[in-house]
Structure 1
Amino acid sequence: MRFEVSILGSNGAVPLAGRHSSAHFLSSEATDVLIDCGEGTQMRLQAAGHGLGRVEVILITHLHGDHFFGLPGLITSLALTGRTAPLRIVSPPGLREKIAPLLELDRWQLPFPLTFVPHAARAYGLLTTTGDLEIFSFPLRHRISTNGYLVRERAREPNILKEQVRALAIPWQEIADIKAGADYTTPDGRRVPNAELLAPASPPRSYAYCSDTVYFPELASYVRGVDLLYHEATFLHDMAEEAREKGHSTAHEAAVTARAAGAGTLILGHFSSRYPQVNDHEAEARAIFPQSYAARDLYRYGVPHVGRDAQK
């Protein structure tokens, strides 16, 4: 079952050829979520082969332009292509005031309900649900109010053992009760314990998005045990002081967080344009956390039900 992230943009404030502004697209079996929407995101969605038909919520981390300047054009395009399904945009307070004038200038009445949800995370907690996903938020430490997001599959029911269904000729009408915890009694009166009828469901998979932030040890507790961690790595560690001054992290610091969190795989991103290549970011992180990858635009990273480290 699908649970994967497409990197639509991996660069920082100033895009480079081949490295666009921040945007990620998470696809699950039942729904999709767009996280951040830098300039040109709608073109990157097309290049990646994604549409927004299953997207009910867009998550914006903070109100620096490289994380939301793509929204006015994207919203207008959705209107022109006939979207009617409601759309929510979650962000720190102030986003509506920044982009509403641009939408009004277009003089196009949106054919779908658009809701801005102001949210400034103060602690880790459940933010909302969409489809088969739960979305949690937590505070990051940047120059302005910034949210981190963790997206996790909802817990599934255990799986009934097909061989037991066949061997015991269990009627389909009994299966819902068995999945809810009931034992099964055969027609000759023998009771079969529930534990012999079910196999545990696969554990929910998860993905966390941490951009932009300075390094702080508490962040690891917010993303503890996450399967796929995206963490900004604007600079290499020889520029750690400048990173702190500008509210950013280094590849070294991202790897320290991933290791402390017990993450499955680390994706580095939000690279400064001073680095035409990011192989050194990957090497710096792998010295601390071997399962580290420098994000590449339009790459997809999946999380399988069994095992981790599923780079595509």
Structure 2
Amino acid sequence: MLNFTFLGTSSGVPTLSRNVSGLAIGLDKSKDWILVDAGEGTQQRIQQARLSLQQLKAICITHVHGDHCYGLIGLLASAGMNARKQALTLIAPQAIQDWLNITAQLTDLYLPYPIEFIDVETLLEQPHQLSSTLSIQTHRLHHRVPSYAFSLRASRSQQKLDSEALKTLGVPKGKAWGDLQNGQDIEFNGQILNSQQFLSTSTQQVHAIVAGDNDQPELLHAACATADVLIHEATYTQDVLDKVGTVPMHSSAKMLAKFAEQAQLAQLILTHLSARYHDAKGSEKIKKEVQQFYSGKFWLAHDFDQYHLDADGKLTQTAQAQHAFAQPTSTNE
């Protein structure tokens, strides 16, 4: 039901193998997608991932630090230069709208499409229904500036035909069943069969949480009660965080793993890694630390990795970054 493409997985600065934060999320059977964070260079990553700015429905910004938003205005400008006309939803801290307005004034920026701005604070209690199948809600995190997580709930309704009842009546399979499935009444043996009498509706829903920078994963405990997957930063290993100190206000792999175990999360994706861990040796350090404290299924995200969350809430990796060190990090794969 949800598809994830990582456009940037580095913290702070880009490196040769990882760009700064950006995550594309698409819906099954639709070309529409949303973007969570837009660090510098995100629009190039979007091109490389073959995503269309015309189908982009919303941008969600977790917080105002540059590695999460400095690519936003260039991306918006490019969408306009590519003749976008459709309105674009922007869900972000209020400072992002202020920054966009000032930049437009000072740089002669003209967007030929409307921006529908939504302050993240307004979605803390009441989710925004982005479409008939996708809603977005926010959660406060703890960082040097106000930071937020986004809860994405995708739903799918299906109508199931009561085949046993039709067999009992002797209605033959074929066109009659198809018409009823499509909501059309039919005539059979001189009587009208109302399609609604033979249809039942079932709804499936998946829940993914994408978090911004945060040094207190436990703030997401209540939200994670229904989550199928959490995507969260793991900037450092614990030994490095102990040396760096509390000033950066980031999570270690150990902190995140312990929280995920306590919250009984079945699936976890780690991202926003310090440049210390961008090679095979660094990735292995992160992996081993998570394995010590978390028994669920987890992945260490790389740029251009792709994942699919199906209707049953099962997460699978569908494409893997083409780096020699980018090996699966799930103990249960």
State the TM-score bracket (shorter-chain normalisation). Answer: 0.7 to 0.9
> What is the SS of the residue equivalent to 2:94?
coil
SS at match of 1:36: strand
Overall identity of the aligned pairs, in %:
25
Partner of 1:172: 179
Counterparts of residues 205-220 of structure 1 (less than 5 Å): 205-220=206-221
Equivalent position to 1:283, from 288, 293, 298: 288
1:32-111 pair list within 5 angstroms: 32-111=33-112
Amino acid at match of 2:81: L
Tell me: CA distance 1:264–1:294, structure 2 relative to 1, closer, same or farther (3 Å): same
Report the AA paired with residue 152 of structure 1.
R
CA distance in 2, matches of 1:18, 1:219: 30
Aligned-pair CA distance for 1:229: 1.3
* Alpha-carbon separation, structure 2, partners of 1:185 and 1:252: 65
Which amino acid in 2 is paired with 1:67? H
Greater Cα shift, 79-88 or 269-278:
269-278
**Counterpart of 1:148?**
149
Deviation at 1:121, TM superposition (A): 6.3
Matched positions, count: 305
**Aligned match of 1:13:** 12
Q: Please report how far the alpha carbon of residue 23 of structure 1 lies from its aligned counterpart in structure 2 after TM superposition.
A: 0.6
- Structure 2 stretches lacking a partner, 5+ long: 319-333
Q: Does the C-alpha gap of structure 1 residues 296 and 116 become closer, same or farther in structure 2, counting only changes over 3 Å?
A: same
Contact 1:161 1:197 in 2 (8 A): yes
Residue aligned with 2:97, SS:
helix
Q: How far did residue 252 of structure 1 move?
A: 1.5
- Relative to structure 1, the CA distance from residue 195 to residue 235 in structure 2 (aligned partners, 3 Å threshold; closer, same or farther) is farther
Q: What is the letter of the counterpart of residue 284 of structure 2?
A: N
Partner of 1:299: 305
CA 1:164 to 1:36, structure 2 compared with 1: closer, same or farther past 3 Å? farther
2:323 alignment counterpart = none
Summarize the Cα distance change of 1:67–1:172 in structure 2 as closer, same or farther, 3 Å threshold. same
Query: Which amino acid letter does the alignment assign opposite residue 28 of structure 1?
Result: L
Is the alpha carbon distance of 1:176 and 1:278 closer, same or farther for their aligned partners in structure 2, counting shifts above 3 Å? same
Aligned residue in 1 for 2:317: 311
- What is the alpha-carbon distance in structure 1 between the residues aligned to residue 125 and residue 264 of structure 2? 17
Conserved 8 A contact 1:13-1:21? yes
Distance 2:287 2:122 in 1: 30
Do the aligned residues in 2 keep the contact of 1:22 with 1:36 (CA within 8 Å)? yes
**Structure 1 letter corresponding to 2:300:** A
Deviation of 1:225 (Å): 3.0
**Aligned AA (1:145):** P
* Distance in 2 between residues matched to 1:162 and 1:126, nearest whole Å: 37
CA positional deviation for 1:7: 0.4
Aligned mates of 1:243, 1:51 — CA distance in 2? 41
Provide the residue aligned with 1:181 in structure 2. none
Aligned equivalents of 1:122, 1:274: Cα separation in 2: 35
Q: 2 CA distance for matches of 1:174 and 1:290? A: 40
CA distance in 1, matches of 2:188, 2:177: 8
* Matched residue, 2:237: 236
**Unmatched tracts of structure 1, length 5 or more:** 179-183
Q: Relative to structure 1, is the Cα distance of residues 174 and 294 closer, same or farther in structure 2, using a 3 angstrom cutoff?
A: closer
- Cα deviation, 1:139-179, whole Å, max 9, x if unaligned, reads 1111111111011113524433567667634583686499x
Gap change, CA 1:174 and 1:4, over 3 Å in 2: closer
Q: SS of the counterpart of 1:14?
A: coil
- Write the distance in 2 (CA, Å) between the matches of 1:121 and 1:138: 11
Matches of 2:299 and 2:74, distance apart in 1: 31
Query: What's the C-alpha RMSD, in Å, of the aligned pairs?
Result: 3.2
Moved more, 48-57 or 118-127: 118-127
2:276 is the alignment partner of 1:267: no
Deviations 1:236-275 (A, max 9, x none): 1223444643211111222223233333321101111232
